[in-house]
Structures are given as structure tokens and as C-alpha cells.
Amino acid sequence: MGMLDEIPIAFDPEDVVNEFEAMTKDAERVQRDTLRKILEENGGTEYLQQWGLDGKTDPESFKACVPIVTHEDLECYIVRIVDGDDSPVLTGKPIKTISLSSGTTRGMPKFVPFNDELVETTMQIFKTSFAYRNRCFPVANGKCLQFIYGSKQFKTKGGLAAGTATTNIYRDPLFKNTMKAMQTPCCSPDDVIFGPDFHQSLYCHLLSGLIYRDEIQVISSTFAHSIVYAFRTFELDWEELCANIREGILSTRISVPSVRSAMSKLLKPNPELADTILNECKGLSNWYGLIPALFPNTRYIYGIMTGSMEPYLKKLRHYAGDLPLVSADYGSSEGWVGANVNPTLPPESVTYVVLPNIGYFEFIPVTQTLDEQNSSVEPKPIGLTEVRVGEEYEILLTSFAGLYRYRLGDMVKVKGFHNSTPQLQFICRKNLLLTINIDKNTEKDLQLAVESASNLLSSEKLEVVDFTSRVDTSPEPGHYVIFWEISGDATDEVLQECCNCLDRSFLDAGYVSSRKAKLIGELELRVVKPKTFHKILDHYVGLGAAVSQFKTPRCVPTSNCTVLQILCGNVVKSYFSTAFS
């Protein structure tokens, strides 16, 4: 496509490891230097000028002067930038690009400033985790089957380029050249990655991977969901893919001219390869071990597998067979936090080591967060090296892209230290709560309840494809509603027991006592039609989200009318719990 320039990058993994080790041994000094650089670059901005820093760049003055904020507090400044104000509003240098968050948490995307420093920190994170990963699972001169999708970029009112954070990264020449330096370039043409129809792009990703079958050493995507989605699609389309390879003729379903042209250059008649894939598929039992069967030289599967991605691990392991699952790094649309430098840990136990030079980090103890909800107590954050092992915190980020003491909304637990910088385990999003009375159930609580109840489906050889929830306060008292899409038809008896099990599995004391006192009504399980969650994905893609960045919303607020309409309009069965009767 000509959009990604070829710039050779020198990359020695051991040099990266040595630099990382040196930096993390002196994390407090690096943090002070990082804050100083941020404030020197941006101290003259309108935002920072109003807080009376007067050129000071030390952490003590910064914390004393600059308030803790949420995205809503900065929205008026960001909107001005989006609308074309190129004065130093949040950053000293003008912002030329805007990122859109996935939008699945609050129902609509957020605008977030994006600049060259974010690209550089992204590549630093990628190279750091790769350097440690390559020690355990070395790759060389191969290709990566990456299920990545660049959504459309558009121009804002002020003429800025805007797109999802992943799209902005994928479109930067540094991304492709860094992947090449790691000896794992994407096997798909750029036209496939940036195709306007993700269904066509997905089909072509699969086809590209099969064409380069013996060269594929890594299977990856931003999120585990995208990998599972891809191989569920393969189950439906494998015979057509084989026919394309056998005949050397691309499916008529690929209608985008640029995508057809790019794929036609790769696709040649190959009956032997088609027969090999055909025989591998026929030899599988219920598609177990599909990935190593298709791509025998794969070393590992890589993507974000924590938080809202954990429910997909069971299916991903089914496809992966004995292949290692390696969880990717920890960050958000606003910026990066840490790298996975312990790649042999299972995703459920993965930790992320904070890179002290990519931003300035503060941590609010969870106990203070709870006090803050119940009173006017101002939280008192502590520094990166002051956190304590075993404690949980909410993260504040100060970045090179104009966010200062910004609440990411993530809750993490400190599992240990790597030299003098903490190893964090992601716990949950702070604002994803099921609550009606005094109950407080997090995304993790919901996930554990669903896992427990879904085990009852195994007797009928069924599984939960996807799920979400909402709080319904229209009746009195209000109650939890859990939506399930399952892989086939279960009996009413099994689904009723699943409903009861869901209700019993919420162990929060406030929920249990409220249920027993009938202050919260019977939990409701609603089973939806097949492909319902695909419709939700299509909805967000239509809003401009990238499939690479999509996360199923685990708790749908009442304000998210469209998603609720999709869910409620596709319900086929409904059950009410009798667990507390």
C-alpha cells in the first residue's frame, strides 16, 4: 500500500534486557527524571500553568499543585484540541493525532491525545517483553499470524487524524519495522490489515496464515477474544479456504478490490497444501489442538489474556492444545504501564513490571478509594517504589501525551518487585460493578460466577460462547440479569440449575444478605440467539472501534440503549433463580 515505509531497525534482545535491568534497579531516580522531562516539555501549557507550578519539576511540588483527575475533567481541553486548537493546551508540541478508546466500558469511545512519544513507548514495551519472551520461546526468520485490524481513520473538525489506539500504532512505520526486527513480521498484506470490512480481513488473515503454514511461528492478536473469534470462524469456513488454496482462486466473498488484489498475488493453486489441511482438520476431535495442527512450527500464542479476556482462555486452550499461552503487556488507550517479563507464567497468574521511564506513576490504596466513595476524603497516592506487596491500588498516570495525575480506572495488586520496580497483577476495572443495594460485585466476581455455572453445561457437551450482565431496577426490588450465548440447545432443567448456580456464586456479603432479605430480587438468566454477541461486535465496529481493540462489555449500563436492544431483542429463554427461595 505504500503507507508503511521500510526503515531498518537494529535490535539486540540482550541489549534491551540489560538496559531494562539497569533502569529497574534505579526506578525511583528514573521516575523523578521522567516527571522532570514531562514537566519541562509541557510546563508552559495552559493546563499546567493554572496550577501554579512556576517551573517546578519535582514530585513533591507536582503532587501539591496538580489535582487528581478523570477523563471527564480533561474532556473540555481535549475537545478544544480535537476542534483544531493548536496552542499549548495540554502539551508543549501540538497534538496531531487522536486515539479513540474501545468504548465498550461506557458505551461510547473517548478521545485521547496521541503523539510520537506514545509510539516510542509502545515499541519499547514490545521490544522489552519480546526480549524476555525470546529467551524462553526463541523464534527466528519466521512469520506471525496476527489477527489485527486497522479501523478507518478520519479527520476531526480541527483536521486531526483520529482512529483507535491500535490503528494509530499499526499505521506508524515504526510498528511494521519493529515486527521485522523481531523476525516475526505479519504474514498478511497491509491491505488486509487495513481493509474496510473486518469479516473479509479475517477470512484473508486465515488464508494468508495457511499459505505460509510452515513459516508461522507465532499466533497473536491484541486480545484473546480475537484469536478465539478467528478460529470459531475457521470451523465454519475451513472447507472454502481449502478450496481457495486448491484452485488458487479467491472466494467471491472477498469483494474489496485492494484486498482481492493483494491476496491474489499470494494465492497460487496448491492441491498438496489443501490436502494436508483437509487431512489435519478431519483428524481432529472437536477441533482440539487446531492451532498446532494447522501451524506445526508455532512456538506460542500471544495476546492480552487478563481481565475481560480471561473467560476466553478455556476455548483458547482447547484450540492451542499443548502450545504455551503468553499474555501480552499491560496498557490502555491512554498509555502503557508494564511489560510481561515472565512469559512462562500462565495468563491467570501473569504479572507486569512497570517501566519507570514511560510515564510517571502514582498509586491510590484501595482502602482510600473506598473511603473516597463514602466521604469527601481526598486520596493520598504513593509513588512507584513505595507500594507494598500484597496490597491493591488504583493507578494514576502522568504521560508525555498530556495526561496529568489521570485515573486509569484500573485496580491492580502488587505481587512482588523486579529489582526496585513493582510487578502488578491486573484485578479489574474500578467502575465495572454490579450493585443495587449494599452489594458490590466486580467483573472478576461475574466471571467466576459464570465459570462455576457453565461447568453444568459440560454434561450436555455445551459451552458458554460469551456473556454479559446488567442491573435491572425497573421491577421492585431490582435484580441482576445475566445474558448467555451458548453453543447449542440445553435442557430447561440444566439451564434452571445454571441460573441457581449463578445466584449462589456471587459471594459478596452485601449481595448474599440482600438476597436473603429480599432487598435484591431473583437473579435472571437470559439465553440469547446464536451470533448475538457478533451483532454487538458489529455495532461497535460501526461506531469506529477496531476488532483488535474490542472487548465485550461485561456490565451494560442502562444508558447503552443499543446494546441492550440487541441483547433483549435476541432472548430465546429466560429463567429466574430459586436459590434463595
Q: What are the tens digits of pLDDT across the range 351-372?
A: 999 999 999 999 999 875 554 5
Check: CB of residue 495 under 8 Å from CB of residue 504. no
Cβ distance 368 to 359 under 8 Å? no
Maximum pairwise Cα distance, the chain:
72
CA proximity to 391, closest of 358, 359, 368: 368
Residues of the chain with pLDDT under 70: 1-10, 101-109, 151-153, 165, 180-183, 368-377, 429, 431-432, 544-549
Which pLDDT does position 4 carry in this prediction?
Answer: 44
Of 69, 179, 168, nearest in space to 119 by CA: 168
What whole-number distance in Å separates Cα of residue 412 and Cα of residue 163? 28
Three cell numbers, residue 231: 478460529
pLDDT for the residue 54:
83
Strand (E) positions, 281-405?
300-304, 325-327, 330-332, 335-339, 352-354, 360-365, 382-383, 392-398
DSSP state of 483: E
In this predicted structure, what is the pLDDT of residue 459? 80
Pairing of strands 421-429, 352-354: antiparallel
User: Contact 97/161 with Cβ under 8 angstroms?
Assistant: yes
d(CA 317, CA 288): 9
Task: For the chain, give the number of residues.
Answer: 581
Q: What percent of the chain has pLDDT over 90?
A: 39
CA atoms within 13 A on the CB side of 517: 10
Yes or no: say if 444 and 422 are a contact pair by the CB < 8 Å rule.
Answer: no
One-letter amino acid identity for 375? S
Task: Evaluate whether 86 touches 72 at the Cβ level (below 8 Å).
Answer: no
Q: Are strands 300-304 and 216-223 parallel, antiparallel or unpaired?
A: parallel
Alpha helices in 212-335 (DSSP H): 224-247, 257-266, 271-282, 290-294, 313-320
Residue 528 near residue 536, CB atoms below 8 Å: no
Give how far the C-alpha of residue 78 lies from the chain's centroid of Cα atoms, to the nearest Å: 23
H or E element that contains 426: strand 421-429
Cβ neighbourhood burial of 126 (10 Å; 0-12, 13-18, 19+): buried
CB 200 within 8 A of CB 254: yes
Q: Tell me, what amino acid is at 368?
A: Q
For residues 551 and 225, the answer to whether their CB atoms sit within 8 Å is: yes
pLDDT in tens, 173-213: 777 777 766 667 888 888 898 888 888 999 999 999 999 99
CB 151 within 8 A of CB 195: no
User: What pLDDT, on the 0 to 100 scale, is given for residue 369?
Assistant: 53
- Please state whether the peptide bond connecting residue 269 to the residue before it is cis, i.e. omega within 30 degrees of 0: no
What is the C-alpha separation between 122 and 118, in angstroms, rounded?
6
How many whole angstroms separate alpha carbon 149 and alpha carbon 226? 10
